[in-house]
Amino acid sequence: MCSLRCEPAGGIPHYSNITMTTIKKISLYLTLGAFAGLLSLSLNSCNKRNAELETDYATKKASAETLMGQINSAMTSMKDDHSKWAAALATAKKPGADTTKLNELNGDLTKHEADMTAIVSLEDSVKAYMNASPDKADEFKNADEKLGTNSNDLSDKWKSYQDSHLKLGQAISAATVAAAAAPDTTKPKAEVKKKAAPKAEAAQPVIKTEAHGVPRKSAH
């Protein structure tokens, strides 16, 4: 029998091989554990939610939704105004009217309608950042910034558009009223007949009475 410390032909004890294998396993476990810890820490860092940022985002989103609701409601009546104004300008173009001014206002109306399309595009740019997830920290922070910037831009453009809508309506109203009152240059002017001066009455002959009392006409 060989003892517990019997050596094989190579001269290295059996328990030495066992110890080396155990150390390698422990080292591998430690490495995997460290890697898993770093991965978990990294994921937790990426997914860390910011309560203050979430509150700010929710406030901006609610404000944007209110603003767009007001815009969409007002645009319905504004489109009706545009149709009425276009019809009024077309009717006002008649001989004697200031067609240059009417054509200028018609061009302003066309531009004003194009500006409305730009407002709608700004609304879309706001909507693009209204569904961000706070679970994605970097994307959420970017969405919060873009939502605030685009909402402010939309608000400013909308206020300007409302002012221009009011002023354009007043200008078109004044121009169409003036056109309606302008005389039609295609109609001939009415002739004014002068009254003839009254004729002088012919002088009546004077009748003289002679001494004999017989009346006799005397011509002058």
Find all residues with CB under 8 Å of 127, minimum gap 6, and list them. 68
* Tokens matching residue 94: 């008649």
15 falls within a domain:
yes
* Tokens matching residue 116: 């409305």
**Do 141 and 54 share a structural domain?**
yes
Mean local confidence (pLDDT), 138-150: 96
Find all residues with CB under 8 Å of 39, minimum gap 6, and list them. none
Q: For position 29, what pLDDT does the model report?
A: 61
193 falls within a domain:
no
**Do 113 and 19 share a structural domain?**
no
**Do 105 and 38 share a structural domain?**
no
Q: Strand (E) positions, 49-191?
A: none
**Do 37 and 23 share a structural domain?**
yes
**Do 134 and 63 share a structural domain?**
yes
Q: Strand (E) positions, the chain?
A: 207-209, 215-217
Pick 43 or 88 by higher pLDDT: 88
Summarised one tens digit per residue, pLDDT across range 16-25 is 556 767 676 6
- Are residues 64 and 149 in contact, defined by beta-carbon separation less than 8 angstroms? no
73 falls within a domain:
yes
Domain extent, residue 94, equals: 50-181
**Do 20 and 70 share a structural domain?**
no
Distance of CA 53 to the CA centre of its chain: 28
- Are residues 138 and 96 in contact, defined by beta-carbon separation less than 8 angstroms? no
Count up the domains in the chain and report the number. 2
**Do 142 and 42 share a structural domain?**
no
214 falls within a domain:
no
The DSSP secondary-structure symbol of 97 reads: S
**Do 126 and 26 share a structural domain?**
no
Q: How far apart are CA 158 and CA 151, in angstroms?
A: 10
Find all residues with CB under 8 Å of 8, minimum gap 6, and list them. 14
Summarised one tens digit per residue, pLDDT across range 124-136 is 999 999 999 999 9
189 falls within a domain:
no
Asked whether residue 145 carries a pLDDT value surpassing 60, the answer given is: yes
Give helix then strand counts, H and E, for the chain.
Answer: 4, 2
Q: How far apart are CA 147 and CA 123, in angstroms?
A: 11
**Do 42 and 115 share a structural domain?**
no
Asked whether residue 15 carries a pLDDT value surpassing 70, the answer given is: no
The residue behind tokens 């919060």 is: 144
* Tokens matching residue 10: 């190579």
66 falls within a domain:
yes
**Do 144 and 35 share a structural domain?**
no
Q: For position 151, what pLDDT does the model report?
A: 97
Find all residues with CB under 8 Å of 57, minimum gap 6, and list them. 132, 134, 140, 143, 144, 147
Summarised one tens digit per residue, pLDDT across range 185-220 is 666 655 545 555 566 565 555 555 454 555 555 554
Kindly indicate the confidence band of residue 43, based on its pLDDT and cuts at 50, 70 and 90: low
35 falls within a domain:
yes
**Do 165 and 106 share a structural domain?**
yes
**Do 126 and 167 share a structural domain?**
yes
* Tokens matching residue 174: 């004044």
78 falls within a domain:
yes
150, with CB counted inside 10 A (0-12, 13-18, 19+), is: buried
